[in-house]
Amino acid sequence: MGQTFEYDVIIVGAGPAGMTAGMYAGRSMLKTVVLERGAAGGELLNTEIIEDYPGFEHIEGWDLAQRFESHAKKFGAEFRQTTVTTLRKLADGVFEAETDSGDTYRAPTAIITAGGTPIRLGIPGEAEYAGKGVSYCAICDGAFFKGHTIAVVGGGDAAVEEADFLTRYGDKVYLIHRRDEFRASKLLQKRLFDNPKIEVIWDTLVDRVEADAQGFVHNLKLHNVKTAVESDLAVTALFVFIGFRPNTGIIEGHVDHDEMGYLLTDTNMETSIDGLFAAGDVRSQLTRQVTTAAGDGTTAAIAAEKYLASLRDSSVGRVVATGGYAV
Radius of gyration of the chain (CA): 22
Q: Counting Cβ atoms within 10 Å, is residue 254 exposed (0-12), middle (13-18) or buried (19+)?
A: exposed
* Torsion of the alpha carbons at 281, 284, 285 and 288, rounded to the nearest 10: 20
Query: Pick the catalytic residue: 140, 164, 281, 296?
Result: 140
Decide if 137 is catalytic.
yes
Contact, 268 vs 303, CB < 8 A? yes
Query: Pick the catalytic residue: 141, 164, 281, 296?
Result: 141
Query: Pick the catalytic residue: 63, 103, 137, 203?
Result: 137
For residue 231, list its beta bridge partners.
Answer: 222
Q: Which residues are catalytic?
A: 137, 140-141
